Amino acid sequence: MLKKPPFGLFITGTDTEVGKTYVATHIAKDLVAAGHRVGVYKPVASECVSDGRQLVSEDAVALWEAAGHPLTLEAVCPQRFQAPLAPHLAARNEGRELDTELMRSGISAWADECDIVIVEGAGGLMSPISDDEYFADVAYDLGYPTIVVAPNSIGVINQSLSALITAACFRDGIPIAGVILNDARMFDGDVSMETNREQISSRSVSPVLTRLRYEGDEFDEQIDWMMVAQQTLNATEA
């Protein structure tokens, strides 16, 4: 059996560059402020940069700092690659192979070190991690409620519903905590930004949990993220 923290949230997105890390760091900061010991885990990262000694994931650094520097950066992100490709392809570009088992087992470092762990994927649920596996496989195997980060712009209704349908249909279903709308850019006349939340909510059984404004310091609503993790997990086990 996989050794892991009892509670967690898996952060995925409708696509790449939708603000997963930005949202995840805000969740981590909220949990720290509420007095929880917070773990952060990014199973793999591509497009890393060299600091002269090793490859560093800027996303992993942001997560680590938001959680108050728990454990080490190596524990946050044990597999790092340089090329801006899907992880298994980025690994092969360096003459290496991505360890998909380590993507799961690496979370064991956090088992006794936190009350809740925030796990950030790469891309979306169907972003590949091998020739026959996807990030959805990792999300499913870890078993934590999943939050879908969606860019608050025209087209997000389709993107969000597609991600939710994917989660529901993958194997026997990935538990979904809800959607977070992220204003990834300044208002530029896109009037859908003010209607997307209602439209997604009216078409989905999964809630739109909240919205994060452009360069905002806090979510629109004050959310008890530990309760979100606990309630969603309990609902799926009932």
For the annotated catalytic residues, the residue numbers are 42
The tokens describing 163, both together, are 């991600």
Read off the amino acid at residue 60: A
Q: Please calculate the CA angle 23-233-227 and round it to the nearest 5 degrees.
A: 60
CA distance 198 to 74: 40
Residues 6+ apart with CB under 8 A from 209: 147, 177, 178, 179, 180, 221, 223, 228
Is there a contact between 21 and 38 (Cβ–Cβ < 8 Å)? no
Sheet holding 176-182, edge to edge: 38-41, 116-120, 8-13, 146-151, 176-182, 208-212
String of DSSP letters for 88-149: HHHHHHTT----HHHHHHGGGGGTTT-SEEEEE-SS-TT-BSSSS-BHHHHHHHH---EEEE
CA distance 156 to 106: 32
Q: Say how many CA atoms lie within 13 Å of 106 toward its Cβ.
A: 23
Is there a contact between 104 and 139 (Cβ–Cβ < 8 Å)? no
